Structure 1
Amino acid sequence: MSHVGVGPRAVARSAAFLTAGVLAVPALAGCTSEEPSSKPLAAQDVASAARASVSDGGTLRWAVDSVPDTLNTFQSDADATTTRVAQAVLPSMYRMDEKGGPARNPDYLESAEVVDTEPKQVVVYKLNQQAVWSDGREIGAADFAAQWRALSGKDSAYWTARNAGYDRIEKIERGANDLEVKVTFSRPYADWKALFSPLYPKDVMGTPDAFNDGARRSLKVTAGPFAVKKVDAGADQVVLTGNPRWWGSPAKLEKIVLRAVPRDKRVSELAAGKLDLAEIDPETADEVTLAAAPRDPATGTPLMGPQGSPAAGAQGRSAAEALRSWAVANGSDEEAAEEEVLAREERREAEAKAQRRRQALSGYEVRKSLEPAYTQLALNGSDGPLADERVRRAVARALDRQKLARTVLKPLGLPAEPVGSHLALSGQPAYADGSGALGEPNAKEARALLADAGWVPGGPVKEKDGAEKAAGAEKAGDEGEGKDKDKEKSEGDDDGTYIVGEDGKGDDGKNKDGDGGDEESGEKHSSGKNTAQGGAPGAYAPKGTAAPAGSVAAPLAKDGKALTLRFVLPSGPGSETLRTVADRITGMLKKIGIGTRISKVSDESYFKDHIAAGEYDLALYSWPASAFPATDARPIYAKPVPAADGSLNVAQNYTRVGTDQVDQLFDRAMTTLDQKEARDLLRKADSRIWAAAGSIPLYQRPQLTVARKNLANAGAFGFGTPVYEDMGFLKKGAQGSRPSAPAASSPTSSPAS
């Protein structure tokens, strides 16, 4: 959600923010752009089916990460399950479509438009005349006004997590009739469509007590296709049932059970038939795919593995092994025969168990897309070496983001394009690749930036006892940057010389054949002899000559300290991908002389005690995409300011890197009602964020979901808001429609690169 955990769970932005950021910036009448928009890199994969093909009734058992501590999305401890519940049971004036754009929700809203801009911005909402709360009362201005007062920030008795947008409202009135709501703003607000989604009844928002405590464990009044039956913390589940007062298309399902299941336990629950829908990790996806693959009738082994490749390894034993086993079991050595008979029985039991598991999983399929979230490398600029922008830029220039994206996404068959914007993803109106403000990967220029900042290859490092050693010369048992300490020591102590042409690479870091080395390790090893054209084997360059780009550079030091960065990572079972990416990054930094010290911490403390507290140099976590970046992204990239108590107020800017220019661009984008102007301002802000190099977007997060094969209109939702009333199980003989592969379409106007 990353540390998505934000491994999948993106820990950086709160769940309350996730709820706010579900729409795209709309175009006002008359404000259009001739610029073609980009396309999402991958489509939804939900087995779409017409409602007529879906059976009435049934229970959907859906795995979630947690039972929420609150059902109020505007509180700080709201989480992703809070959002899921709100989407199913509460009004939202707009929902996000599968391309990341806003779609008016006609079940609640007939129209909404800006009717005045002078002297004040005025928006009039016209509500669906059938829209009622579950207690029979019409949805109307009183609910809008109660939510505004609760979230305006003027009454500190309300424990709110966010007030953005609501603090710009001056008043809310009944319009020409009961179905109209007139909202007047004190200051222009471009992201006005982000408001009132979700909309809570005045029963929840009307008083501080009701807001703070009344909606934590129950929602007595709702207005969606489903209602909250109970939040059962003891059973780790939330139960939703159909809303009898729902006026829209009737819910196909009778019940939805959101059950908290740890990610490493989900495959077992699926095999036991206890779940119908669950987000899973790549390893589980491989197992489900193999279970559903055609099998050799003779051996029972899968004919093809994931992505259409031949299955790796056979489940059965070879003919020679089987013959040897039979011979031992029937041989004259009674002790060996008895052991072999027992071993054969154990193998038969294990194979029977595995076969039952495969059979159970064969009723599921993997649905995959790209999540509306991206993983970034965060660089803490508050102190230490990364407080220097030149060092941050050097780190960024050392990264091959294309290679990192391929590492994560290519094995899954998903489009492997690096993310080019901090503020939008491909397919959203504000998206444009702003990474050019930082520059392309270039080891030579990265080393030049470090040299300009005073970091010297092989420079002296002061020990605690006052003695000096060369950077990179580690003592036995030292916590170092990598595994090849002996190799690094010899390179660091080589008196400023190196073998010309080693690794066969040129100054651009590429091999002669044009590739950048081994994709997995980031390096190619040679025999140690110079084989470059025109060079003599073993020839040495003069002392002081810079090492060629692409080779491992001598470790750097400055003022008696080695340039070693603390790389903090979560240690939980759901974060293997982050750790793999961190290994790749470590290798890339090593090539320009930057050391890393990996620090693995518990998932529980990763965000709170390290990211939010600023106790890291490098870290990986994810941000969800916002359709309202002027509002929602500003606290993430705003310049930290001193608080009254002398501390630094960083809001959500956990890198502690910001500029006045970025803040001003956000503020201007938030107040203009011209879509094109707002988009241009946001793209300028993004370029400046890239240049400051506090956050380096890497790749859009994969979204892998296992679903029962007959479950329709559910799965990997991508950008789209789930349509809960359409979910259900297909009638016998009916089929859902799925993309034949993750619908990978390259952006048409702003390619991610």
Structure 2
Amino acid sequence: MSHVRVGPRAVTRSVAFLTAGVLAVPALAGCTSDEPAGKPLAAQDVAAAPRSRVADGGTLRWAVDSVPETLNAFQADADDTTNRVAQAVLPSMYRTDDTGRPARNPDYLESAEVVDTEPKQVVVYKLNQQAVWSDGREIGAADFAAQWRALSGKDSAYWTARNAGYDRIEKVERGAGDLEVKVTFSRPYADWQSLFTPLYPKDVTGTPDAFNDGARRELKVTAGPFAVQKVDTKDDEVVLAGNPRWWGEPAKLEQIVLRAVPRDKRVSELVAGKLDLAEVDPETADEVGLAAGPRDAGTGTPLMGPQGTPAAGAPGSPLAGDRGRSAAQALRSWALANGSDEEAAEEEVLAREERRETEAKAQRRQRALSGFEVRKSLEPAYTQLALNGADGPLADERVRRAVARALDRKKLAEAVLKPLGLPAEPVGSHVALAGQPAYADGSGALGDQNAKEARALLADAGWVPGGPVKKTEKGEKAAGAEGDGEKEKDGKKSEDGDDGDDGTYIVGEDGKNPGDGGDGENGEGGAKADAESGEKHSSGKNTAQGGAPGAYAPKGTAAPAAAAAPVAKDGKALTLRFVLPSGPGSEALRTVAGRVSDMLDEIGIDTAITKVPDESYFKDHIASGAYDLALYSWPATAFPATDARPVYAKPVPAADGSLNVAQNYTRVGTDQVDQLFDRAMSTLDRKEARDLLRKADSRIWAAAGSVPLYQRPQLTAARKGLANAGAFGFETPVYEDMGFLKKGAQGPRPAASPSS
């Protein structure tokens, strides 16, 4: 899966960082059938095992996207690895459980409760009496107060990414004893449990200099099961070692090495034995899964023929070097190599040697990967289609709604998740995921997919089919379609741009994606083409069967749906700029983009797809607004009132005349949505907060600035025998429990999906 994802908390990451917070709600009671929150769609898959079966010692080599620029999670350039380090080495008052709900972390917190609401909200934290920093000092009120002052926003000398929640604190002081911290709020704050996680020592937050620079490359004082041993930018790794002053359950592992490995290089590192745990793309997951075999199956010897004889092509077979070829091909090769024609025999012998080397290499790769297994779940994040409403055709709400109502979100979810064996349900909320308290399917405020009504919305906005279109020498195209990235033409790469036109990939004018089967699913006639390229062809010729234009499809194959006549207004066809990342791991996004384009074809909207480098995708296109349509992901955090507000807040003019969009990159917002979020953030009544968030979500759906599509898959290759690590789902990793099973210990069976 693509790693293009953004997070509403700049405090924890700039682009690719998921928050670790939790919502202040009680433990989850059994969900009833009429509870819209439901259950999580997929359980975590971490090969859970009791600590008694996990060996002491060992090093876990864990692939990450990058060595962090900073270890201070409250700075703007913090990333996903920053968060991972913070979880392992710093206090967190609450953890997230496997349903995305909060669990008090007893290693740090004996209790925390709201003790007063009038005249002001007061929260008292009672800390674990054993909790100490690695320098021996007790964790206490001084650390809480220093972090509040640093993040309150009152002192601009602190280079902080945000101050949400901390700006509502009036004072932090010592409670009745050394182990109590009393926090008084100037305004009510529903998400108070999001604060002080992670908690840094006052050594880091006490002064601007220490905050800004002191924790970027090292953390001298920590308080977790692990401590930061070194940040090595030369070898691209962060080394965590066991903390000798840790008072909780001792860490099973001696070290955790977080190695920066590009996603397209991870399979090679797995084969080389240099990694034990790595999030991988679907193609790598398939290869690992095939090599490993079923997780509960016995061992096998795929190269053995009947009664233990070598199969054709296996080492020791007279047909070695012909594995994977037909019997006739193998026999012909053997005959040539052993025939009387010396020249032909020599050529065939050389060819067979090359094939043997290739086969041997493939077998070594397979043997290496057979030591791993794929652990899969769903991330607490969803992929959305973003519609830029700042200007152009999508500034009209009717056009945005038409686009949204043209989409079959179920089919889009199935295209990504069904081949992976994961629940393929479309996401129904912008603020939460299934199983979280605020979740409810609010898509009814927009309406179900309906092409007829979508066309009516376009017509109401003045976009009518068959209208006159002003043509240029190169044909009609979208304004601003000339991106700075790699472009697509007729479904193929334009290597150097010198192909007789401008290189822009215009979709929808001439017909459907060849081989799509007419239904947009990964079904017969289109699955392979879509899975491999994820892109559409604008030739209008059916080349799915053998590639011959006009070739007949097998009997029973559905005919491709005809594209609607392009809609136009004031002599200009409606063409939307669709910007996508081009890097490794983005194949699924391109598949989804092709299917979205197919669906828009059916209501007369063309799309101009431009692929751009990953490094510029977000900064130069999403954040700057240089797009009409785009795909990227948001986490559904446990604090939607706090974290989702800047994502959907109405943009406001800044002092310099520019538009302050916060993190609302679609530029679509309303005063009503802002007010609902503000009320949800300020009430301590959990039911009222939940209802307000659901109302806000309904209004976001109605505005059609973004359309949630599916929950992101989480695929992790893990060394067999590695316990309590993998696809974590909602749950905060428990670093002290990770480790390798003792010799002879049986590994657990894979977790079942809650829906199974």
Q: TM-score, normalised by structure 2?
A: 0.86
Superposed displacement of residue 551, structure 1 = 3.6
Whole-angstrom CA distance in 2 between matches of 1:484 and 1:436: 28
Do the aligned partners of 2:42 and 2:423 also contact (CA within 8 Å) in 1?
A: yes
Aligned position for 1:594: 605
Distance 1:486 1:378 in 2: 25
1:22-37 alignment, distance < 5 Å: 22-27=20-25, 36=35, 37=37
Counterpart of 2:755 (choices 730, 745, 751) is 745
Aligned to 1:16: 12
Q: Which residue of 2 aligns with 1:710?
A: 721
1:274 alignment partner, SS class: coil
Contact map agreement 1:24 1:429 (CA 8 A) in 2: no
In the TM superposition, residue 519 of structure 1 has moved relative to its aligned partner by: 7.3
Indicate yes or no: 2:48 matched with 1:48: yes
> Aligned with 1:177: secondary structure?
coil
Say whether 1:459 aligns with 2:456: no
Give the fraction of aligned pairs with identical amino acids, expressed as a percent.
78
Counterpart position of 2:260: 260
Spell out, residue by residue over 1:640-670, the C-alpha distance to the aligned partner (whole angstroms, 9 max, x if none). Answer: 0000000000000000000000000000000
1:25 Cα deviation after fit: 2.2
- The whole-number CA distance in structure 1 between the counterparts of 2:540 and 2:569 is 31
Aligned-partner Cα distance in 2 for 1:518–1:556: 28
* SS of residue in 2 equivalent to 1:421: coil
AA matched with 2:742: K
CA distance in 1, matches of 2:113, 2:309: 60
Give the structure 1 partner of residue 221 of structure 2: 221
State the 1:23 CA deviation.
3.3
1:132-162 CA-partner distances (Å, limit 9, x unpaired): 0000000000000000000000000000001
Give 1:430's aligned residue: 438
Per-residue deviation, 1:736: 3.2
Equivalent AA in structure 2 for residue 269 of structure 1:
E
C-alpha distance in structure 1 between counterparts of 2:286 and 2:19, whole Å: 32
After superposition, the C-alpha distances for 1:477-535 in whole angstroms (9 at most, x for unaligned) are: 466665685569xxxxxxxxxxxxxx99xxxx999xx9999775899x9999xxxxxxx
Would you say 1:358 and 2:369 are equivalent positions?
no
Deviates more, 1:286-295 or 1:666-675: 286-295
Distance 1:481 1:350, change over 3 A: closer
* The 10-residue stretch of structure 1 (287-296 or 582-591) with the greater mean CA deviation from structure 2: 287-296
Cα deviation for residue 24 of structure 1 reads 3.4
Secondary structure (helix, strand or coil) at the match of 1:574 reads: coil
In 1, the alpha carbon distance for the partners of 2:588 and 2:9 equals 20
| Shift in CA distance, 684/315, structure 1 to aligned 2, threshold 3 Å | farther
Give 1:439's match in structure 2, choosing from 438, 442, 447. 447
Find the counterpart in structure 2 of residue 79 from structure 1. Answer: 79
Tell me, in whole angstroms, the C-alpha distance in 2 between the residues paired with 1:33 and 1:371.
21
Tell me if 1:398 matches 2:406.
yes
CA drift of 1:624 comes to 1.1
CA contact (8 A) 2:410 2:426 kept: yes
Residues 168, 510 of structure 1: alpha-carbon distance in 2 compared, 3 angstrom cutoff: same
2:357 corresponds to which residue? 349
Corresponding position of 1:641: 652
Report whether the alignment pairs 1:135 with 2:128.
no
Rate the CA distance shift 1:681–1:51 in 2: closer, same or farther, 3 A.
same
Q: Conserved in 2, the CA contact under 8 Å of 1:13 and 1:623?
A: no
Corresponding position of 1:272: 272
Indicate the SS of the match to 2:469: strand
1:411 aligns with 2:419: yes
What's the counterpart of residue 536 of structure 1? Answer: none
Greater relative contact order structure (CA < 8 Å, 6+ sep) = 1
Amino acid at match of 2:755: S
Distance in 2 (CA, whole Å) between partners of 1:527 and 1:708 is 46
Displacement after TM superposition at 1:81 (Å): 0.1
Asked if 2 retains the 8 angstrom alpha-carbon contact of 1:5 and 1:11, the reply is no
Q: Take 2:476 and 2:229, find their aligned partners in 1: how far apart are those partners? A: 69
1:591 maps to a residue whose letter is E
Q: Which amino acid aligns with 2:304?
A: A
Q: How big is the shift at 1:19?
A: 7.2
Matched, 1:5 2:3: yes
Helix, strand or coil: the match of 1:461?
Answer: coil
1:317 aligns with 2:328: no
Distance 1:699 1:465, change over 3 A: closer
Q: Deviations over 1:550-587 (max 9, x none)?
A: 64100111112110000000010111111111011111
The one-letter code matched in structure 2 to 1:58 is G
Aligned residue for 1:573, secondary structure, equals coil
Q: Distance in 2 between matches of 1:19 and 1:348?
A: 45
Please give the alpha-carbon distance, in whole angstroms, between the structure 1 residues aligned to 2:654 and 2:471: 37
- Give the aligned partner of residue 732 of structure 1: 743
Identify the residue that residue 450 of structure 1 maps to in structure 2.
458
The 3-state SS of whatever aligns with 2:708 is strand
1:212-264 Cα shifts (integer Å, max 9, x gaps): 00000000000000000000000000000000000000000000000000111
* Paired AA for residue 23 in structure 1: G
Partner of residue 288, structure 2: 288
Q: Does 1:298 align with 2:304?
A: yes
Please say if residues 151 and 167 of structure 2, whose CA atoms lie closer than 8 Å, have aligned partners that are also in contact.
Answer: yes
| Contact 2:442/2:698 (<8 A) preserved | yes
Q: 2:124 aligns to what?
A: 124
Q: Which amino acid aligns with 1:248?
A: G
Tell me how far 1:333 sits from its aligned partner.
Answer: 2.4
Deviation at 1:292, TM superposition (A): 1.5
* Shift in CA distance, 315/262, structure 1 to aligned 2, threshold 3 Å: farther
CA distance in 2, matches of 1:710, 1:467: 59
Partners in 1 of 2:281 and 2:123 — Cα distance?
44
Paired residue type of 2:657: G
Q: Residue 494 of structure 2 aligns with which residue?
A: none
Evaluate the alpha carbon distance shift between residue 59 and residue 427 of structure 1 in structure 2; reply closer, same or farther with a 3 A threshold: same
Shift, 1:458, TM fit: 2.0
Which residue identity lines up with residue 81 of structure 1 in the other structure?
A: T
- Contact 1:32/1:675 (<8 A) preserved: no
Change (3 A) 1:740 1:244: closer
Q: Which runs of 5+ in 2 are unaligned?
A: 294-299, 312-321, 480-489, 491-498, 531-535, 543-559
Give matches, 1:604-615, under 5 Å: 604-615=615-626
- Closer, same or farther: CA 516–265 of 1 in aligned 2, 3 Å: closer
Within a 5 Å distance, the mapping from 1:158-173 to structure 2 comes to 158-173=158-173
Paired residues of 1:169 and 1:186 also in contact (CA < 8 A) = yes
Q: 1:178 Cα deviation (Å)?
A: 0.3
Q: Which amino acid aligns with 2:370?
A: S
Paired positions, count? 688
Cα–Cα, structure 1 residues 450 and 254, in superposed 2: closer, same or farther, change >3 Å?
Answer: same
Query: Aligned-residue CA RMSD in angstroms?
Result: 3.3
Deviates more, 1:582-591 or 1:315-324: 315-324
Give the superposition deviation at 1:463.
Answer: 3.9
| 1:198 Cα deviation from its structure 2 partner | 0.2
- CA deviations on 1:610-664 (whole Å, 9 max, x unpaired) are 0000000000000012100000000000000000000000000000000000000
TM-score of the pair, normalised by structure 1: 0.86
CA distance in 2, matches of 1:580, 1:28: 40
Structure 1: any 5+ residue segments left out of the alignment?
A: 304-313, 489-502, 529-548, 747-753
Distance 1:517 1:433, change over 3 A: farther
Counterpart residue type for residue 212 of structure 2: N
Whole-angstrom distance in 2 between the partners of 1:668 and 1:727 = 41
Q: Equivalent residues in 2 for 1:118-267 (5 A)?
A: 118-267=118-267
Residue 12 of structure 2 aligns to a residue whose secondary structure is helix
Aligned-partner Cα distance in 2 for 1:218–1:480: 47
Judging changes above 3 Å, is the alpha-carbon distance between structure 1 residues 510 and 247 closer, same or farther for their aligned structure 2 residues? closer
Report whether the alignment pairs 1:683 with 2:694: yes
For 1:387, the equivalent position in structure 2 comes to 395
Residue type at the aligned position of 2:153: G
The Cα shift of 1:317 comes to 2.0
Alignment of 1:483-522 (within 5 A): none
User: Residues of 2 paired with 1:257 and 1:171: CA distance?
Assistant: 39
